[in-house]
Structure 1
């Protein structure tokens, strides 16, 4: 066997069912792998969860969405670039430090909106967005590597969905904050108190990362130890990244990666931000992220971890469910979208109390949340089925976030360009539809084991 320091060394993707876990007796006092994922979920709750809540209001809670959209372009551009290398950075620093460093820029980002309320300094918001892209690349790569490396083979759906549920609880509670604080307000932008509340929660979320335990001290539910080595050298990481990038399975996941965040801009600005009053946007955000929690729980625990089905069959069933709800949501979205467009500058915003107008668009927005949850949870499950090697998973997740963020950067720029909403909807739908046959190619090659 070639030594890893030898120039001929080539990392090889390890099939999940062939990857041998280190045997170890359960040691009293050793951290439980599931509890570590719960803590990880609360880190995500405090940082990206709060980010999603404020972003879901449309325009970052501001009347003019242009500054927020330009900030998101900068965010996703740097997110895409640094995600290519974030897996390798994570493999050197380890998950705890990577999470902490990745969480700090979220605080700066919300601070820039607080500053904007007083100075209208859009440049600061855009720069803060660019810096946040670097932090998000690190945080999400560490998150992905942990939720795919810590569970046993038949718990991956549970671990992915648990982290997703707690993370989106941040979106639910974060959306409730502006709903309560601005319930009696006629203003179109959120107040200082809202941003300060978000800022405090983000500080706590970033700090919580420091309480994560070293992976080597963690025991899984089957009493095996988590194998989470660090890279031996820069050369090993460069080779590993190269082979991960050109792994045919990763290439097949590029369409899904690119599409998986592309729709946020349209849904947040073109639907929620455009159609509804501020307090209704906040309520919609609560329901949107709440639906994500419910969908992730059911999909992860009762479909993707169904032990009576082989892994390949679970993959096919999951893909069928994701495809069905994706098409249902976008078909209903077309019915909603045909009645308005962004050129109508004097649109009478909908309040949730007007049930005759609010019911259908709120249901559509709720379905958008459901689709986001099952789609992204499914992609994570597919990546987790490709390997159990933490170093390799970190690279796969980093590349997934890179292409995802490239799509996000383009989508927010589309909003800045003023592209009409129906065109945006069709593009979002087509991108997701194109990804399904490519994911099927990966699924049909999975070893057909039962756990």
Structure 2
């Protein structure tokens, strides 16, 4: 199920920004960001609530006990959906911010470096006996800390679209593609 919902989430995230359900790319960028932020925020809130419940009830997570297992598994699937949409959106932003392949590589490397640092911190937290509610709460806090920065990044994509319009770049075309086409 994880692979299926991950694939569908990646497709949905790409469709929201690439399929012209509105002709304005800026609207698609900001609307997709808001939808992803709301979905992710809700999922993290749900994760803390479920983890807190599990902390008090100590359920045996077994397929046969659908009330406990189903809620946790549902949360896991929504986390997969959120991850697929976030990753796809980030790489879409990188693709729209970069004018040259070298910039895409640099932005992607920076992203992967930050992600690796986050994973290292996560492993460090789990290396010592840590209550799972603490881990969920740390992730919850980091998500909300990242929201203004991710919105700023979305605004940089929108700014890039505005610059392209001023230069006469068409829909779906980057400024470098436009420059090559005119050369």
Give TM-score, length-normalised by structure 2. 0.79
Shift of 1:316: 0.5
Shift of 1:348: 5.4
Partner Cα separation in structure 2 for residue 436 and residue 312 of structure 1: 18
Partner Cα separation in structure 1 for residue 10 and residue 151 of structure 2: 20
Shift of 1:378: 1.2
Q: Which runs of 5+ in 1 are unaligned?
A: 1-286
1:426 to 1:356, Cα distance in 2 relative to 1, 3 A: closer
Partner Cα separation in structure 2 for residue 386 and residue 339 of structure 1: 42
1:405 corresponds to: 116
Q: 1:330 aligns with which of 44, 47, 71?
A: 44
What value does the CA root-mean-square deviation take over the aligned residues? 2.0
Number of aligned positions between the proteins:
161
Q: 1:430 aligns with which of 141, 144, 166?
A: 141
2:97 corresponds to: 386
Q: Secondary structure at the match of 2:160?
A: coil
Q: 2:17 aligns with which of 297, 304, 307?
A: 304
Structure-to-structure mapping, 1:53-64, within 5 angstroms: none
Q: Secondary structure at the match of 1:304?
A: helix
Q: Secondary structure at the match of 2:161?
A: coil
Partner Cα separation in structure 1 for residue 120 and residue 17 of structure 2: 30
1:434 to 1:446, Cα distance in 2 relative to 1, 3 A: farther
Structure-to-structure mapping, 1:337-348, within 5 angstroms: 337-341=51-55
Kindly provide the CA deviation profile for residues 38-59 of structure 1, in whole angstroms up to 9, marking residues without a partner as x. xxxxxxxxxxxxxxxxxxxxxx
1:377 corresponds to: 88
Kindly provide the CA deviation profile for residues 3-39 of structure 1, in whole angstroms up to 9, marking residues without a partner as x. xxxxxxxxxxxxxxxxxxxxxxxxxxxxxxxxxxxxx
Kindly provide the CA deviation profile for residues 308-344 of structure 1, in whole angstroms up to 9, marking residues without a partner as x. 3323222211110111101111121122111234x99
Judge conservation of contact 1:312–1:446 (CA < 8 Å) in 2: no
1:394 to 1:365, Cα distance in 2 relative to 1, 3 A: same
Judge conservation of contact 2:12–2:85 (CA < 8 Å) in 1: no
Structure-to-structure mapping, 1:178-217, within 5 angstroms: none
Return the structure number with greater helix share: 2
Kindly provide the CA deviation profile for residues 99-128 of structure 1, in whole angstroms up to 9, marking residues without a partner as x. xxxxxxxxxxxxxxxxxxxxxxxxxxxxxx
Structure-to-structure mapping, 1:229-244, within 5 angstroms: none
Partner Cα separation in structure 1 for residue 48 and residue 40 of structure 2: 12
Q: Secondary structure at the match of 2:53?
A: coil
Kindly provide the CA deviation profile for residues 361-419 of structure 1, in whole angstroms up to 9, marking residues without a partner as x. 11111111111111111111111111131122111111110111011011011001122
Matched, 1:362 2:73: yes
Q: Which runs of 5+ in 2 are unaligned?
A: 166-170, 173-183
Partner Cα separation in structure 2 for residue 447 and residue 397 of structure 1: 20
Partner Cα separation in structure 1 for residue 123 and residue 131 of structure 2: 13
Judge conservation of contact 1:296–1:373 (CA < 8 Å) in 2: yes
1:348 to 1:326, Cα distance in 2 relative to 1, 3 A: closer
Partner Cα separation in structure 1 for residue 59 and residue 36 of structure 2: 34
Partner Cα separation in structure 2 for residue 353 and residue 446 of structure 1: 52
Q: 1:415 aligns with which of 112, 126, 142?
A: 126
1:432 to 1:348, Cα distance in 2 relative to 1, 3 A: closer
Matched, 1:290 2:4: yes
